[in-house]
Amino acid sequence: MSLDTTVNMKALSESHRKTNWCWLFCLLLPFTVAAIEFEINGVDDNIESNVLAFLSSRTYVCLSVVSPISRQHKDLLDQVQAAIQPFGYFNAKATLQAKKTESCETVVIDIQPGPLTVIESAKISVSAGQDQDFIQILENHGIGVGQPLNQSKYDALKNKLLGLANEKFYLDAKFTDQKITVYPEQNSAAIRLTFDTGPRYRVGPVNVVVDQPFLEADLMHRMISIKANEFITQNQLYQLKQKLNSYGYFSQVRFDINQHDPVTVTVPITITLSPAAKYDYSVGLGYSTDAGAKSSFKYNNHRINTKGHQLNSQLNLSELRNELSASYKIPAVKQPAAKWYNIQLGYRDEQSNNIDSQTSKLGLSQTRIHANSWQNITFIDVLHEKFDTGMEQGESLLLVPGISWSLTDADSLTRTTRGYKIQAEFKGASEDLWSDAAFAQLTLGGKFIHKAGDANRLIYRAQFGATASSDFNQLPTTYRFFAGGDHSIRGYDYQTISPLNSSGDLAGGKHMAIGSIEFEHQFAPQWAVAAFTDFGDAFSDNFDLKYSVGAGLRWFSPIGPIRIDVGVPLNQEASDFRLHVTIGPDL
């Protein structure tokens, strides 16, 4: 016998154990019948769900369906056979009986699946040349001689091939042969599947349409990384659209893939760009458990001139810290999408229970995005700080050059189920180069997220820092390590973990090591609960492990995840807990 490859699987994911049938008036019987429930024995949950899904499309009368000579009896058995066959059972037997009740409301279906059908030959081929992505699918599809026949694997393979062809612009791809032949007497099957990808289409003419010209034409064309006669993927187009949206120049970015040309084997692309507002500003009010009540004001000029220069400024006010900053961005002439320069000015006044500091900074930096998505920032900061840690008072002027690297990869930045972020930074100063103190400092950080079942996530976080300094007492608090708080070791107050000076005040540490493990369970579409443990220390000489445990609630709101955590420190004298509230993406 032959199976058409469009066998209806009918909602294999259905999990209902029993199907309630609608009340109906039986025209053949002189009374109204009750709804039927089916009880299925002898098969696993997946097959049972599929049988119930098949039966849910039919209307049966209990007294009729259990009669061996009725049409409904035969139809029900046919539906059971059809529901079992996609799992490789073609010699199943089923018997029906009604439970002894006055209304005959439950029909018991006892199924003997019989032997599994085994694949005796599988001829699966793809005409994609040396395309490694297709080769990898063929090497890992799991459909081979001696394997049980499973329709879902076969359909999944077809969907993967079609999806990859669409992703890589094999626009003429099609199946030239697709057939499963089953031999029920031998409990065997033969599979033939031939996928002809056809040629892979290149990018044709790229037409950039600007509603109102507001940037130099050369600048906009250099921001668009796809070029004519190149191979691209759908994901590359999506990433380019996201990048163009992130620049702040455009209010709308639209990609139109035009009719492909089979003669030139190209596909023209039209990119329509609409300008964003030149100026924008925002005012915000909020609260965090680290900084207390806070407010912010942002002002941005997205297009200072036709060369794409931008100005971003921000004022942040809180109970703990007041900060004013401004940044002037200059895109590089040749690679504006992958390279730019920043001039930064900032002033911060911080007054907490432990630290009193006033910091001014002038910074120059160059940012580069490399082809492998690494972001590299080379910078030089001029920093002046007055600080008071209780016993130590000082004033320092430092010239601090440095370099940082970061990489972020995630399936979704708003709701990450697989992703990571890693960061590394090295900076330092020398007394021979207009600095009051000499130091070298390395910081490393990382975060990793992965699924643990359908509704669970595991989140790991680590931070490390090390400092070498000729006169640590002269080092501003900006370059000292403190731990504790929302993004550090929960259960401890903000920056309350650090070495103490001789007066018992927090002095900041030379080094830091922090880790976190968090388990999150999603119990509703927009809600999850979490359990975590945080641990580590900020120290100079002796590492003294601090650790905490806690639980939290997550709401995946329209503005981003909102986290409410309660952390309890486990190794401090006072038994206490701390509430932490944070907003923002996981990475």
Q: Kindly report, residue by residue over 91-130, the tens digit of the pLDDT.
A: 888 888 877 666 667 888 888 888 988 989 989 989 877 8
Per CATH, the number for 2-112 is: 3.10.20.310
Q: 118-196, what's its fold?
A: Ubiquitin-like (UB roll) (3.10.20)
Domain range annotation of the chain: 2-112, 118-196, 202-275, 279-583
Residue (of 115, 120, 237, 215) closest to 168 by Cα position: 237
Tell me if 80 sits within 8 A of 94, measured CB to CB: yes
pLDDT at 475: 87
pLDDT at 8: 34
Nearest-angstrom CA–CA distance, 112 and 91: 9
515 pLDDT band (50/70/90 cuts)? very high
Tell me if 562 sits within 8 A of 555, measured CB to CB: yes
Q: Kindly report, residue by residue over 527-556, the tens digit of the pLDDT.
A: 999 999 999 999 998 999 999 999 999 998
Max alpha carbon distance in the chain (Å)?
Answer: 105
What is the SS3 assignment for 280?
strand
Q: Kindly report, residue by residue over 8-50, the tens digit of the pLDDT.
A: 333 333 333 333 333 333 333 333 444 578 888 888 888 988 9
Tell me if 119 sits within 8 A of 188, measured CB to CB: yes
Mean pLDDT across 78-90: 89
pLDDT at 363: 96
pLDDT at 5: 39
pLDDT at 395: 85
Mean pLDDT across 340-366: 90
Mean pLDDT across 82-92: 89
Nearest-angstrom CA–CA distance, 411 and 388: 45
Q: Is 98 exposed, middle or buried (0-12, 13-18, 19+ CB in 10 A)?
A: middle
Per CATH, the number for 279-583 is: 2.40.160.50
Q: Kindly report, residue by residue over 480-493, the tens digit of the pLDDT.
A: 999 998 889 998 88
Nearest-angstrom CA–CA distance, 119 and 117: 7
In CATH terms, are 2-112 and 118-196 the same topology? yes
pLDDT at 447: 95
Mean pLDDT across 125-145: 86
Q: Kindly report, residue by residue over 151-182, the tens digit of the pLDDT.
A: 888 999 999 999 999 999 999 999 999 999 98
Nearest-angstrom CA–CA distance, 194 and 179: 9
**Mean pLDDT: which of 190-194, 300-304, 512-516 is highest?**
512-516
Q: Global pTM?
A: 0.70
Q: Is 89 exposed, middle or buried (0-12, 13-18, 19+ CB in 10 A)?
A: buried
Q: Is 199 a residue whose pLDDT tops 50?
A: yes
Write the CA distances from 193 to 91, 109, 125, 155, 498, integer angstroms. Answer: 25, 35, 6, 11, 65
Q: 202-275, what's its fold?
A: Ubiquitin-like (UB roll) (3.10.20)
Write the CA distances from 205 to 165, 221, 227, 230, 419, integer angstroms. Answer: 21, 13, 8, 10, 35
SS (H, E, C) 348-401: EEEECCCCEEEEEEEEEEEEEECCCCCEEEEEEEEEEEEEECCCCEEEEEEEEE
